[in-house]
Structure 1
Amino acid sequence: MTIDEIKSVSIVQYLESEGIYSVSYHKGNYWYISPFRTESSPSFNVSFIKNLWHDFGTGEGGNIINLVQKFHPTWNNHQVLSYIERKIAEHKLVCASDYKSQIKDYDEVKLSNVRTDVGDETHIDSIIELNHPYLKDYILKRCIDFEIARKYCNEIHYSIYGKHYYAIAFRNKDGGFEVRNKYCKRSIGRKSISIITPNGKSNKDCCIFEGFFDMLAYETIRKHKTNLQICIGQECDYIVLNSVNNVRILLQYLQNYDTIHCYMDNDSAGAKATTLIKSFYADKTTDESFRYASYKDINDVINGILK
């Protein structure tokens, strides 16, 4: 390969091949937590259009060759170029313009069955398999099994007034999403409940949770911490309110179940939601919050956060 061909290789794609992902995107610029030091705010920038990087912390920057030299300061030019050529072959790295086209094509396929225009200010850019390392770190810090999170959640990339963000996305029955990351807790699209059949078929029992992290915690406990006696023995459908205000939407769906297990938060709003459900289905509703009476919710149990 010529030097110009190597310089044209997408820096964003190269960084992804090294396990380094951006934390935000704005006007053709990807922003990263610097891979060269510890920091809380992103100061490392890659221009997608120019295919150049710049480290605002040190004032350094350049093309992909300069970047690999920065990662490996003891290497000579031959070692640097040989390494890049190996990365190109192993990870199918392409020039920046081709990589941008690949991303666009991939997003169009992923979004073909998804409503992307969800408001005057919000636009869904892509919905992909949950994989971003920062989102994984957030999930693990909440003591949730990551493979369980990947089973029930997606990774969403969205824009608000031209600024780009990413987060964990949990879909509801009306096609809207509950969106979470370390800094954000919001909804995109229509707010509603979520109904999950974990084993692929409807069950005659259901467990009701306020939020999807409680459901993920319940599944994590089933898989890893059976001694906690939080979970019931039989297979159940999972119903997530996504807000206690959605409890009235829920009521019509509960007539199909023989037993209803309420895993609401141990607070006044959770108690009111359980009371309302019992007022309609008293003969088949069980309040399971006694199982974690010393905690606000199930996720607090596996995090050891007492009330």
Structure 2
Amino acid sequence: MNCKQLNSIGLEEVLVFLGHLPTRQNEKEAWYLSPFGPESNASFKVDRPKNLWYLFSQGTGGTTTDFIQKYFNISVKGALEWASKQNFSSFHQQAKPLKSHPNYHIDRIMDIAHPNLISYLYERGLSGKVYPFIKELWFTIENKQLYAVGFKNNSEGWELRNAFYKGALHKKDITVLSFPKETESVSNNKTQKNTTNQKIAVFEGFTDALSFIEMQKSFEGDLLVLNSTAMLQKALALLDSYFEISLFLDNDPAGRECARKILKAYPHAKDFSHVYSDHKDLNEYLIAKKKHHSHVTINTPTTTTAKNEHIEKQNECREETNRIKKRVRRRM
């Protein structure tokens, strides 16, 4: 993918993928609350025919490439790499005119039950231990019903994942929750700091937070999930009241930049990305760790047993051969 191809991707599709919905729209333009920070009046405009954006509150704008760079605070190369990993329909169907914002609605919210989602979580190294922190969401987009693992944020929005889909519904925001899980439902993710917790662990995405939960045995404190690096400024304000801050951000330019800014604001914070330095993020590290553990605990004993059985059979053969030889000598 190059910049020309990236700029052909519809801005509206990128925005809905990131969980941003227009406040008003017509055939020529769509208006949004700023995707880069909180505001009360929509000042972010998308020019539909030209596929360009302009943020009046900051006096800046540009192409799809420019938007992704600013949203994730990454380079052009980083923007191209990020977009190439997504499955934007407007890139694969460039001859089609830009569509208006698709209609969507949430149909059901329930505990994790679908076998495909359980399998997806298992492939990500996640067990039933993390189920209290997530939900199974059934939702409809453009008359297509989908289901995904849902992770709720502090503004009642949802991060959504399954084996073939990555997206968000409603407003984008951070998520703050307690670990071990408190007695209330996951739908009551805290919007305010629990003053009884002095520790907090910070993650970029919710699969990393779930990986942390999967691996932890003794941590008690809050978990903060950015859900987007664009939420960093909001997170920085919340971190002020914590005495112990642990960072588990991605090992990529955006993640390292987030860690740098947090460490600059809070020098007592500790960056633990070195623990999984050979992997992109904490979830990738967990997957690799579980695969290695599986090899050691399952394959090795099986191999050892097979070898022992083979040795026993060899010994039995030798003993039987010796008995036959002794009988032959006696007859001679």
Q: TM-score, normalised by structure 2?
A: 0.51
CA distance in 1, matches of 2:125, 2:174: 24
1:65-214 correspondence to structure 2 within 5 Å:
121-145=103-127, 147-199=128-180, 200=182, 202-214=196-208
Q: How many pairs align? A: 177
| Pair 1:161–1:234, CA change in 2 (3 A) | closer
Where does residue 46 of structure 1 map in the other structure?
A: none
CA distance in 2, matches of 1:214, 1:292: 12
**1:288 has 2:272 as partner:** yes
- In structure 1, stretches of 5+ residues that fail to align are 1-118, 224-232
CA distance in 1, matches of 2:149, 2:219: 28
**1:297 has 2:281 as partner:** yes
CA distance in 2, matches of 1:236, 1:292: 21
Q: One-letter code of the match for 1:216?
A: L
CA deviation after TM superposition for structure 1 residue 236, in Å = 2.1
- In structure 2, stretches of 5+ residues that fail to align are 1-100, 183-193, 292-332
Alignment check: 8 A CA contact 2:130 2:214 kept: no
CA distance in 2, matches of 1:234, 1:220: 11
Cα deviation, 1:229-255, whole Å, max 9, x if unaligned, reads xxxx54221000111121111111101
CA distance in 1, matches of 2:151, 2:112: 11
CA distance in 1, matches of 2:219, 2:164: 36
Where does residue 264 of structure 1 map in the other structure?
A: 249
Alignment check: 8 A CA contact 2:179 2:223 kept: yes
CA distance in 2, matches of 1:302, 1:254: 26
CA distance in 2, matches of 1:263, 1:141: 21
Alignment check: 8 A CA contact 2:109 2:138 kept: yes
1:219-298 correspondence to structure 2 within 5 Å:
219-223=213-217, 234-282=219-267, 284-298=268-282
Where does residue 77 of structure 1 map in the other structure?
A: none
CA distance in 2, matches of 1:234, 1:175: 26
CA distance in 2, matches of 1:160, 1:149: 27
**Identity level (%):** 31
CA distance in 2, matches of 1:161, 1:271: 37
Q: One-letter code of the match for 2:119?
A: D
Alignment check: 8 A CA contact 2:202 2:224 kept: yes
CA deviation after TM superposition for structure 1 residue 295, in Å = 1.2
CA distance in 2, matches of 1:271, 1:153: 27
Cα deviation, 1:143-173, whole Å, max 9, x if unaligned, reads 111x223110000011112221111000000
Q: One-letter code of the match for 1:208?
A: V
Where does residue 212 of structure 2 map in the other structure?
A: 218
Alignment check: 8 A CA contact 2:153 2:173 kept: yes
Q: TM-score, normalised by structure 1?
A: 0.55
CA deviation after TM superposition for structure 1 residue 120, in Å = 5.4
Q: One-letter code of the match for 1:182?
A: A
Q: One-letter code of the match for 2:285?
A: V
